[in-house]
Structure 1
Amino acid sequence: MSGPFVLAAGGTGGHMVPAHVLACELMARGHEVHLVTDARGLRFPGLFEGVPRTVVESGSVARSGLLALPKVALAVLRGWAAARTLFREIRPRAVIGFGGYPALPGLLAAVSMRLPSLIHEQNAVLGRVNRLLAPRVRAIATSYPAVRGLDARLAARVRLTGNPVRAEVVAARDTLFDAHASRLRLLVTGGSQGAAVLNSVVPAAVALLPARVRARLDVVHQGRDEDAEAMKLAYAEAGVSAVIRAYFEDLPREIAAAHLVVARAGASTVAELTVAGRPAVLVPLPIAADDHQADNARAMAGAGGAVMVRQGEFTPARLADILTAWLGDPDALAAAAEAARALGRPDAASALADLVTETAE
């Protein structure tokens, strides 16, 4: 076939960003790409610019509830039919799904038409849609060596590729990490889901740090506008310089400039931290499906590149102890950064593109 590679992704940035990075890699190799997504997948600025895209219906019982099951089923059926019509027209070389319910209609259409198909799992836990599709596709790309929920009988189809991150993040890998710098920067980011708990706990924890640590600390904090004034006051009372923004236009640059990060443990966040080689305090989102953020965090923490703190245990005193242990000991901070970096897979986009083209043959 000479048609495009179809990428099925939507919903959140955790699905859309790696799909976008793969699209860039495939196009750089001279291939055509087509995006199949949901309405939410069109909301991300700077992604898939110039790429043909088709919006199909889908739905999720997890999001809508069991009472909406008939409506969800009908939406998925309509999306499946629309995807089949599209595929008959453009004749895809292969269809690649990135998990999440927006990818379901496109992958079901590909499987029903016996088109080459594969899935990519960004997390350390196989998502529900990918769990459904895994036995039906030709290949399964993973971001972690061990993925909870992946049937061992499918091992022959599995390829560890890593989770593709933007080129700007890969470039941050070569930015000097100086744990002995005269000023240390703490980056706080809650990800696309936001994190009100970080906005209250982190400033309070900074106030508890020893004076010698606070004296050389700068904070860059992604916080909601409604919390900004309280955070500014808390940091000012602690005598710490803080920049507070609701949105980072260039998060890779902020990661590259950071010495330590406090964040959620979404797949893209962990992938970016490890590629850039930045240690972190990870606070998994408690309501994440199948508690997948905890698995993501454990993988990084187990290697020494992070400390995982459950939200129920995430107190100012607990965080202050962790920050003091790292920010107060340059050698420990440097070792944690190196441990994080060792986990990074900067070649993930290339490895995934290789798998995609192999699957299409």
Structure 2
Amino acid sequence: MTATRHFLLAAGGTGGHMLPAYALAGELISRGHRVALVSDDRGLKIPGAPAEMETHVLPAGRVSGGPIGWIKAALAIFKGRRMAIDLIGAFDPAVVVGFGGYPSLPSLLAAGATKRPRVLHEQNAVLGRVNRMMAPRVDAVAVAYHNIQRYPAGHELKKHITGNPVRDEIVAIREEGYPPLPEDGIVRLLVVGGSLGATVLSEVVPAAIAMLPPALLSRLQIVQQCREADLETVRAKYADLGVAAECAPYIADFPERLRWAHLVIARAGASTVAELACAGRPAIFVPYPSAMDDHQTYNVVDLVEAGGAISFAQPDFTPAEVAKHIQRMALEPGALENAAARAASCGLPDATRDLADLVESLAAPPMMDVIRVGASSSQRAAASGMASARTGEQ
């Protein structure tokens, strides 16, 4: 039986940072460990956190806004570091894991000051600012892609390809395989644009569908996520074409829709790319051009090189090009099935397990709790009490 350990996770306030942290937390808790998570107010509002996980908010300034902004950020980070040192003293984590974003920085700095093992997880194919700064200082860096940009030279030995954790429902899709696509059968298209949709998809995809030959048009079924402002316009365009289409501002049952789909058109956020690869669904990607360090463009490199996807820079994402690709994939025998298999070859369905294995491997043996320097039994009892008192903090 695995001995119970304590693990402290620290993540930025976006879904891209928080969801992998939630996945790791759930896996560690299922193995009998205790987990606490540090983020900002935004992060702790993101749904999906395991009920058994403690949560804490620590100050962490964002480095921006010129010299005055930098000074304010430094003061906030320093304050957060002092508070994180107190938290580490109370919770006594075996390992501290950072998922990127400025809210992860104080805990990582505090872990260094208290000589705790540190692990980073990078969701994107370009190392983010905080992870880039901390990578030379930590014990291990878990990455999601073979092609990682801006990774510091000389630290390759600490890099581990684990992938991005995905939901169990997505792994189940992979196990079921690609949906049958008989000749002259229905072709099912799923269009998603991130958490809020993307206007470029609402403009280009219906125009591309209008260019398809009538024989293919009659075989299409579409589910498309749209911004609220674009919703009625997109619905009207599909109605005029006589295409069976369902449009909504948010796709609540995304795993079920992904199971249903033969082809996906999407932005290239890390979670989306990981889920499509794991499920084994061919895709047309349109990376968000304003993403920091253009990381969405790099997120799809592995899939594109494997033949499981095609990627268009947004200026090249035109109705004519999209129509051409849909028509080729839908009408060429075996094209969609082949692309699906190639996409699946890039999937890493064991990412959560592998990340948890890596984190556990850096934890000190349980016997170290008995001989930890400076930790008397009374201090450990007090620490346990403080940690328990913080359970459920928002």
Same fold by TM-score, threshold 0.5 exceeded?
yes
Structure 1: distance between partners of 2:30 and 2:4: 16
Q: Distance in 2 between matches of 1:66 and 1:317?
A: 47
CA offsets per residue over residues 70-127 of structure 1, 9 Å max, x none? Answer: 2222222222222111111111111101112221111111112111111011111111
Q: Which residue of 2 aligns with 1:208?
A: 211
CA-to-aligned-CA distance 1:14-48 (integer Å, 9 cap, x gap): 11111111111111111111111111111222333
Partner of 1:114, secondary structure, is coil
Distance in 1 between residues matched to 2:279 and 2:209, nearest whole Å: 24
Pairing 1:137–2:101 present: no
Distance 1:310 1:67, change over 3 A: farther
What secondary structure sits across from 2:8 in the alignment? strand
- Matched residue, 1:240: 243
- What's the offset of the Cα at 1:334? 0.6
Name the residue aligned to 1:228.
Answer: 231
Alignment partners' CA distance in 2, 1:342 and 1:200: 32
Matched residue, 2:389: none
Could you say which residue in structure 2 is the equivalent of 1:194?
197
Runs of 5+ in structure 1 lacking a partner? none
Matched, 1:36 2:38: yes
Q: Distance in 1 between matches of 2:19 and 2:79?
A: 26
AA partner of residue 7 (structure 2): F
Tell me the equivalent position of 1:24.
26
In structure 2, what is the equivalent of residue 280 of structure 1?
Answer: 283
Find 2:7's aligned residue among 5, 8, 29. Answer: 5
Unaligned runs of 5+ in 2: 365-394
CA contact (8 A) 1:3 1:91 kept: no
Judge conservation of contact 1:179–1:333 (CA < 8 Å) in 2. no
3-state SS, counterpart of residue 258 of structure 2 = helix
Alignment match, 1:157: 158
Distance in 1 between residues matched to 2:51 and 2:187, nearest whole Å:
36
Residue 66 of structure 1 deviates from its aligned partner by 5.7
Runs of 4+ in structure 1 off by over 4 angstroms are 64-67
> Could you report, residue by residue, the CA deviation over 1:136-175 in whole angstroms, capped at 9, with x for unpaired residues?
1111111112311112311111111111111111111123
Within the alignment, does 1:298 sit opposite 2:319 as a pair? Answer: no
Matching residue within 52, 55, 69 for 2:57: 55
- Counterpart of 1:10, as a letter, is G
2: CA distance, partners of 1:73 / 1:219:
49
Tell me: CA distance 1:52–1:330, structure 2 relative to 1, closer, same or farther (3 Å): farther
Instruction: Normalising by structure 1, report the TM-score.
Output: 0.96
Q: Could you tell me how far 1:54 is from its partner in structure 2?
A: 0.3
Asked if 1 retains the 8 angstrom alpha-carbon contact of 2:179 and 2:260, the reply is no
Q: Is the 8 A contact 1:13 1:192 kept in 2?
A: no
Q: 1:322 to 1:65 in 2, by over 3 A?
A: farther
Paired residue total = 360
Scaled by the length of structure 2, the TM-score of the pair is 0.88
Say if 1:28 and 1:2 are closer, same or farther in 2 by CA, change over 3 A.
closer
1:153 is paired with a residue of what secondary structure?
A: coil
- CA distance in 1 between counterparts of 2:217 and 2:333 reads 14
- Show the counterpart of 1:91: 92
Write the letter of the residue equivalent to 1:356.
V
AA matched with 2:322: L
Between 1:35-44 and 1:47-56, the stretch displaced more is 47-56
Which residue pairs with 2:76 in the alignment? 75
Cα pair 1:20 1:47 within 8 Å, conserved? yes
Q: How far apart, in 2, do the equivalents of 1:159 and 1:291 lie?
A: 23
User: Match for 1:16: what amino acid?
Assistant: M
Decide whether the 8 Å contact of 1:179 with 1:331 is kept in 2: no
* Pairwise CA distance, 1:11: 1.7
Q: Structure 2 counterpart of 1:160, which letter?
A: I
User: Does the 8 A contact of 1:199 with 1:227 survive in 2?
Assistant: yes
SS of 2:175's partner is coil
* 1:347 to 2:350 alignment: yes
AA partner of residue 171 (structure 1): A
What is the alpha-carbon distance in structure 2 between the residues aligned to residue 328 and residue 44 of structure 1? 41
Aligned counterparts of 1:252 and 1:272: Cα–Cα separation in 2: 9
Partner of 1:252: 255
Aligned to 1:168: 169
- Distance, in Å, in 2 between the alignment partners of 1:254 and 1:175 is 14
- Alpha-carbon distance in 2 for matches of 1:58, 1:191: 26
